[in-house]
Structure 1
């Protein structure tokens, strides 16, 4: 089978490509490089009118003439690579807005790529209409919109994904869903909103090339190291403010027992090695399941504070606090769980082993690529 993977988000399509290739199939990834993370793609779509000095020219042209130079440039690049982007059996888009254009222009790009290929699918692994609508309707106990409801994040914050609820993006959503064969969710935060949708083909857990991530058995001879990686644009959305408050409590009580590392906005290749010396990693608060950063850290053998809600425990039939630590939106609760690990370092060793085994069992790129092939067929 020939598979075109459109767009990238935390190496999800890169890992899927590697799994498909292991099974003897052809796959390429085309898209942008996921912002500051600088994710490798096979055919990179340049963002010179979105990022850098030319974005001012873009804004002026949109304001004066309603012409988006970013979209024109994206379409030009895709047409240039047409011979490499056509005649695929399957084209899967990473999102309903894979190229960060206006809704009208996204539809143009979507229609262009689907006209060159056969069956089309959407991967729900980031904010989209279904997940944002479910969250805004307060059907989750808490979500990335909790800080917005509490007035700590402005509605203009791009990370909230509120654009997907505007009339033009709702129209785009329905256009895409009318044309695709189906949508595949990648974790419970996207599975739950799509559970009863007629186009939902089910969940395939985030794909990870576990073999490319060496396991690091925790060495707890001296201080326990806690790592907190911050994406400043998503500071409140990820609950980094709550982690910071928890760390202040821990630092005050265990200054001689812990070493706290904080970093901001690191590209993927730097981030994935920055926490090598850590025993514990603080990932995100407002989630029911783990995303890529958490899973890659778990594969390395880190104890990760992330989404590990009751729904996740039930889905995978796991015991709380044995594979990942559920990070609730409560600084004192997070600090309490950190204290439990600091006072019982043997738990870190056990959870480390379990975390690696869990990622290998449920997220292996080759095994999960087989699941994609089944759904596409």
Structure 2
């Protein structure tokens, strides 16, 4: 089967590609590498000219005045230029509702041409999109990435990237996609729940993790317990990093001789994963019901991850609380208590570490997940 994947934000498409290649399928990945994260792609359509210092400053000033993005235009032009070659694929899968990273009007225009020259088109819900943002805005989750904004409306500017999906132009893009795709696949419970009972919904297929490439790292307790906190400043508020920082302050004061805290900010993906390899505990995100990609890869390495691990997720996978991951609530004191429990009981770190690896092998193995995608596409 000839497969084209459009967009990459987390390494989901790369890992799925690796699984599909093992099953002897032909796979091409086109995207922009997600800016500073620099995920691998076969065809790169990222803006290069308007990323340079002077052109970028001009583009930024123009965007501020007239809300017109030269960076988006460059991405669109690069996709348009390569469009004649992107044809006759058996399956095309879009990473989300704004996979080309350009304006909705231009994206619709480009996708119309693109869809005509290919067969089956599928859409992933694995990041913010119209339905997931609408569901969160209506406060249907007990907490979500919109919770900080709902508590403090002054944060509205910080949420421009997320709230844009509720704009009329992005709603039109959403409607266009749902009319033209075969169906929509969710990657975890945060996207699965808003899609329940939707006619286009094909079900949840968990994130694929390459368990051949990612090896389990045996814990070493000869020195201090190492806690890693990775920060992406663009997502600082919606990931709930403030709760982690406050909890770490409590722990650092209480157990200065027992813990070592490692903090990293805005790193390319390859640097980021190397940076946390020596840690025992990794702080991922707060406002989630399920794990994102960073959390899953860390769990595959045997890290005890503070992330989304809500009751809905426990029930879905038939798990006990704190058995494979720690549910990080938007509560600094609660996070500090859970960290303290692990610091004082290193045997629990060892148990959760081994369980986490087994869970990833059982539920997220990239070849098994690739087979599930093939079954869904073929249906």
TM-score bracket relative to the smaller structure? over 0.9
Partner in structure 2 of residue 109 of structure 1: 110
- Following superposition, the deviation at residue 266 of structure 1 comes to 0.7
Match runs of 1:236-275 below 5 Å = 236-275=237-276
- Following superposition, the deviation at residue 105 of structure 1 comes to 1.3
Tell me the number of residue pairs that the alignment of Structure 1 and Structure 2 aligns: 377
Query: 2:159, 2:32 → 1: CA distance?
Result: 17
Does the CA-based 8 Å contact 2:104-2:170 persist in structure 1? Answer: yes
Query: 1:344, 1:371 → 2: CA distance?
Result: 38
Partner in structure 2 of residue 42 of structure 1: 42
Partner in structure 1 of residue 93 of structure 2: 92
Query: 1:121, 1:353 → 2: CA distance?
Result: 35
Match runs of 1:1-377 below 5 Å = 1-48=1-48, 51-53=51-53, 54-58=55-59, 68-151=69-152, 154-158=155-159, 161-377=162-378
Does the CA-based 8 Å contact 1:144-1:160 persist in structure 2? Answer: no
Q: Which is worse superposed, 42-51 or 128-137?
A: 42-51
1:215–1:84 CA distance, 2 compared to 1 (3 A): farther
- Following superposition, the deviation at residue 47 of structure 1 comes to 1.5
Query: 1:64, 1:238 → 2: CA distance?
Result: 30
Does the CA-based 8 Å contact 2:186-2:203 persist in structure 1? Answer: yes
Q: Secondary structure of 1:41's match?
A: coil
Q: Secondary structure of 2:4's match?
A: strand
Runs of 5+ in structure 1 lacking a partner?
none
Query: 1:306, 1:353 → 2: CA distance?
Result: 17
| TM score, norm. by length of structure 2 | 0.95
Query: 1:129, 1:73 → 2: CA distance?
Result: 24
Query: 1:344, 1:153 → 2: CA distance?
Result: 41
Query: What RMSD over aligned residues (CA atoms) do the two structures have, in Å?
Result: 1.8
| TM score, norm. by length of structure 1 | 0.96
The superposition leaves residues 51-96 of structure 1 with CA deviations (integer Å, 9 ceiling, x where unpaired) of 3432344356668888654444334322433354211011110011
1:62–1:347 CA distance, 2 compared to 1 (3 A): closer
- Following superposition, the deviation at residue 158 of structure 1 comes to 4.7
- Following superposition, the deviation at residue 20 of structure 1 comes to 0.7
Does the CA-based 8 Å contact 1:147-1:153 persist in structure 2? Answer: no
1:39–1:223 CA distance, 2 compared to 1 (3 A): same
